C-alpha cells in the first residue's frame, strides 16, 4: 500500500499568539461588564427596571428612529441629487456634504444652544426685526428636547449614509438605469424603482453607523435634556456611585448594539447583487435655470445646518474671546493633554492593528486563517460599543490589575497606589480598544494591495515573517499606516464618554473642558476648545473628499 502522508497542522507563531492576546483584551471588558452587573442585588435591578429603563429605553428608541429616518432621508437624497444631476457648484457641494463629520455631536448641540438662546444672536435678531424689546415678549421654541436632539443629530450624522450610498450610486451598472429609461421611466421612477432598491445594502450600512454614533452620544443628549440609556449609565455611575446599576443598564444597551449590527449584516447580505456588471458612471442630467439653483439650495441645507452655522458661530465666539483677554491657561494644558494622550493611543492602536492584519495575512498564506481571522473580527467589536459601555466594562479589569500590582508593591515594601486607574494608561487602553478596527481595517486594506508574489519571493530568500514585514511590506504600507493613524488620532481627540469616565483626577482634555463649560453654561469659554476640535476633525474629512474625487476620476476613465 502506498504510504499516505498527513500534512502537519501549522504551528502557532508569535504573530498569531499576539493577535489572540489582542482579541482577548477586546473581549475582556464585555466579560467584566457581565460580572459587574451580576454584583448588583435583585432589588437594585428591580428598581432600575421599573424606574430607569422604561423612560430611558423609550427615549433612546424614539431618538434612534428619528435620527435614522432623518439621516437616511438627507443622506440618500443628497447622494442621488449630486450623482444624477449636473448643476452649478455640484463638485464643491459633493465633498462639502461630508463636512458635518468634522463636528462631533456634542459640539453641534453646544453651538446651537448658544446660537438659539433667548439672548443669543438668532433670537435677538428676530426680535429686533419684529420690533420686540424683551425675550418675555417674543421667543422661539426651546431647542431642548427630543425633537431638537433628533434634528441636530440627524443633520450631523447623515454623511455616514451619504458616503456609502453615493459610492453605491456611482458604481451601479449604468446599463440598468439605461434600460429603465428605455422602458419609459423618468428620473423619479428610476430612483424609487431601480436605484433605491439596489442601494439598500449601502443605506443599511450607513444607517447602522449613524445609529451606533447616536446610541453612543452622551454630550448632545445631556445638553438637550434627553434621558437616553447612555446618559443613564453615566449618571448612575457618576452621580449615584452605583457601578453595578450602570453595568446593568449598559447590558441593556448591548442588546440594541447587537440589533444594529444585525441590521447592518442583513443589509449587506446581497451586496454583490448590484455589482454583477462592470460599473460605468451614470451620466448626470444637466439642469439649468431655477431647477439648477433649486437643487443646489436643497443640497446646501444639510451643509449649512450641520457645519456652516455652528462652525461660524464658534469662530465668531472664539475671536471675541481671544480679543477680550484671551483664554485660561488651563485650556492650553487641556490641549497638551489631548494631543499627548491621542499621540500615545495612536501609536499603540496602529501597532496593534498592524499585528492583527499581519497575523491574518500570514495565516492566509498558510491556508489556515481561521484563528487569525476570528481575532481580526473580534478586534472590531470595540468600535461597535458605545464609549460609556466600554469604559464601564474596563473599570473592573483595571481594578483587578491595580490590586495585583499593589500586592507586588507591598511585597517589595512600597506603598500601594492606583497604577492604571490613576494614570492616563486607562484612557489609552480604552482608546485602543475603541478604535482598533480603524487601524486594523485600514492596514488590512493596504496589505490586500500588496501582491502575494512578494511574500513568496521573500520566503524563498529565507526571510522571517518579521523581516518580511519590516523590509518589504512596511515601506509599501506607509500610505495606509498614515491614513489609519490620522483617523485614530482625530477620533481619539473627539472621544468624550470614555474620557469622562476614565480620566485621572484633575486631568482635562479639550472634550472634557468643553463638556464642563457647557454644564456650567459658560458657552463663550468653551468656544475655543470646540473650534480646535472641529479644526482637527477637518483633516480626515479632507482625506475622504480627496479619496472620493480620485475614485470618481478612476471610474470615469473606464
pLDDT in tens, the chain (558 residues): 444 444 445 555 677 788 888 888 888 888 888 888 887 666 666 777 777 788 888 999 999 999 999 999 999 999 988 988 888 888 889 889 989 988 888 899 888 988 888 887 888 888 888 878 777 777 778 888 999 999 999 999 999 999 888 877 776 655 566 666 665 566 666 776 767 777 787 788 888 888 888 988 888 898 888 998 888 888 888 777 778 888 888 888 888 887 777 766 665 555 554 444 445 556 777 888 888 899 899 999 999 999 999 999 888 888 888 787 767 778 888 889 999 999 999 999 999 988 888 888 887 777 666 777 777 777 777 777 788 888 888 888 888 887 787 777 777 767 666 677 778 888 999 999 989 888 888 888 788 887 878 877 877 777 787 788 888 888 888 888 888 888 888 889 888 888 888 888 888 898 888 888 777 766 666 788 888 888 888 887 877 776 655 545 544 455
DSSP state of 335: H
C-beta neighbour count of 392 within 10 angstroms: 32
Q: For residue 385, is it left (φ>0), alpha (ψ between -120 and 50) or beta?
A: beta
552 contact partners, CB below 8 Å, separation of at least 6:
170, 281
C-beta neighbour count of 357 within 10 angstroms: 28
- DSSP letter string over 82-150? HHHEE-TTHHHHHHHTTGGGGS-HHHHHHHHHHHTSTTSHHHHHHHHHHT--STTT--PPPS-SHHHHH
Determine the Cα–Cα distance for residues 398 and 48; give it in Å rounded to an integer.
25
Q: Where does residue 27 rank: exposed (0-12), middle (13-18), buried (19+ CB within 10 A)?
A: middle
Domains of the chain from N-terminus onward: 13-51+327-400+419-521 (1.10.3720.10), 52-313 (1.10.3720.10)
Of 373, 380, 386, the C-alpha closest to 438 is 380
Q: List C-alpha distances in Å: 34 to 30, 155, 502.
A: 7, 35, 19
124 contact partners, CB below 8 Å, separation of at least 6:
none
Of 109, 142, 100, the C-alpha closest to 523 is 109
Read off the C-alpha cell for 158. Answer: 447623515
Determine the Cα–Cα distance for residues 476 and 443; give it in Å rounded to an integer.
11
Determine the Cα–Cα distance for residues 490 and 541; give it in Å rounded to an integer.
10
Of 486, 494, 513, the C-alpha closest to 431 is 494
Q: What pLDDT is recorded for position 477?
A: 84
pTM metric for this prediction: 0.83
Q: What pLDDT is recorded for position 348?
A: 94
Q: What pLDDT is recorded for position 177?
A: 62
Q: What pLDDT is recorded for position 186?
A: 62
Of 211, 247, 260, the C-alpha closest to 63 is 211
Read off the C-alpha cell for 155. Answer: 443633520
Q: What pLDDT is recorded for position 175?
A: 56
DSSP H helices in 379-477: 381-384, 387-411, 425-448, 452-460, 465-468, 474-476
Q: What pLDDT is recorded for position 8?
A: 47
**What would you report as the CA-atom Rg of the chain, rounded to the nearest whole angstrom?**
26
Amino acid at each position: 500500500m502506498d504510504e499516505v502522508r498527513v500534512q502537519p497542522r501549522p504551528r502557532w507563531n508569535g504573530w498569531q499568539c499576539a493577535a489572540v492576546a489582542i482579541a482577548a483584551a477586546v473581549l475582556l471588558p464585555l466579560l467584566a461588564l457581565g460580572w459587574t452587573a451580576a454584583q448588583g442585588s435583585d432589588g437594585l435591578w428591580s428598581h432600575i427596571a421599573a424606574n430607569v429603563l422604561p423612560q430611558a429605553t423609550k427615549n433612546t428608541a424614539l431618538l434612534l428612529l428619528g435620527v435614522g429616518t432623518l439621516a437616511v432621508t438627507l443622506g440618500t437624497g443628497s447622494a442621488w441629487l449630486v450623482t444624477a444631476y449636473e448643476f452649478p457648484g455640484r463638485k464643491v457641494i459633493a465633498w462639502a456634504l461630508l463636512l458635518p463629520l468634522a463636528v462631533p455631536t456634542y459640539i453641534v448641540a453646544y453651538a446651537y444652544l448658544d446660537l438659539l438662546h433667548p439672548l443669543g444672536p438668532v433670537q435677538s435678531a428676530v426680535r429686533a426685526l419684529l420690533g420686540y424689546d424683551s425675550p418675555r415678549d417674543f421667543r422661539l421654541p426651546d431647542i431642548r428636547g427630543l425633537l431638537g436632539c433628533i434634528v441636530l443629530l440627524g443633520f450631523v450624522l447623515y454623511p455616514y449614509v451619504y458616503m456609502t450610498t453615493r459610492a453605491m450610486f456611482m458604481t451601479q451598472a449604468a446599463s440598468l438605469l439605461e434600460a429603465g429609461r428605455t422602458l419609459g421611466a423618468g428620473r423619479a421612477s428610476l430612483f424609487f424603482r431601480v436605484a433605491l432598491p439596489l442601494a439598500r445594502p449601502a443605506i443599511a450600512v450607513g444607517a447602522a453607523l449613524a445609529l451606533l454614533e447616536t446610541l453612543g452620544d452622551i454630550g448632545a443628549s445631556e445638553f438637550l435634556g434627553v434621558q437616553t440609556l447612555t446618559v443613564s449609565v453615566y449618571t448612575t455611575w457618576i452621580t449615584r456611585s452605583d457601578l453595578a446599576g450602570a453595568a446593568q443598564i449598559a447590558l441593556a444597551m448591548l442588546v440594541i448594539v447587537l440589533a444594529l449590527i444585525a441590521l447592518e449584516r442583513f443589509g449587506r447580505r446581497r451586496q454583490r447583487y448590484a455589482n454583477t456588471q462592470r460599473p460605468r458612471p451614470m451620466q448626470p442630467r444637466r439642469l439649468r435655470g431655477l431647477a439648477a439653483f433649486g437643487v443646489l439650495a436643497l443640497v446646501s441645507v444639510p451643509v449649512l445646518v450641520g457645519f456652516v452655522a455652528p462652525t461660524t458661530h464658534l469662530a465668531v465666539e472664539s475671536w471675541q474671546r481671544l480679543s477680550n483677554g484671551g483664554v485660561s491657561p488651563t485650556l492650553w494644558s487641556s490641549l497638551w493633554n489631548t494631543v499627548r494622550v491621542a499621540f500615545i493611543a495612536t501609536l499603540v492602536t496602529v501597532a496593534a492593528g498592524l499585528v492583527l492584519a499581519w497575523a491574518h495575512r500570514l495565516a492566509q498564506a498558510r491556508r489556515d486563517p481561521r484563528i487569525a481571522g476570528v481575532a481580526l473580527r473580534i478586534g472590531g467589536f470595540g468600535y461597535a460599543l458605545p464609549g460609556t459601555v466600554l469604559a464601564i466594562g474596563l473599570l473592573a479589569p483595571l481594578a483587578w490589575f491595580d490590586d495585583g500590582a499593589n500586592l507586588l508593591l507591598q511585597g517589595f515594601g512600597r506603598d500601594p497606589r492606583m497604577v492604571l486607574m490613576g494614570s492616563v494608561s486607562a484612557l489609552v487602553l480604552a482608546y485602543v480598544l475603541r478604535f482598533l478596527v480603524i487601524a486594523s481595517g485600514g492596514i488590512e486594506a493596504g496589505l490586500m494591495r500588496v501582491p502575494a508574489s512578494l511574500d513568496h519571493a521573500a520566503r524563498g530568500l529565507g526571510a522571517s515573517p518579521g523581516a518580511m514585514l519590516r523590509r518589504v511590506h512596511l515601506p509599501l504600507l506607509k500610505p495606509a499606516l498614515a491614513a489609519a493613524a490620522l483617523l485614530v488620532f482625530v477620533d481619539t481627540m473627539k472621544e468624550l464618554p470614555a474620557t469622562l469616565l476614565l480620566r485621572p483626577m484633575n486631568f482635562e482634555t479639550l472634550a472634557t473642558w468643553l463638556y464642563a463649560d457647557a454644564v456650567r453654561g459658560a458657552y463663550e469659554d468653551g468656544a475655543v476648545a470646540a473650534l480646535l476640535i472641529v479644526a482637527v476633525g477637518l483633516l480626515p474629512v479632507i482625506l475622504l473628499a480627496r479619496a472620493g474625487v480620485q475614485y470618481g476620476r478612476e471610474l470615469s476613465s473606464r
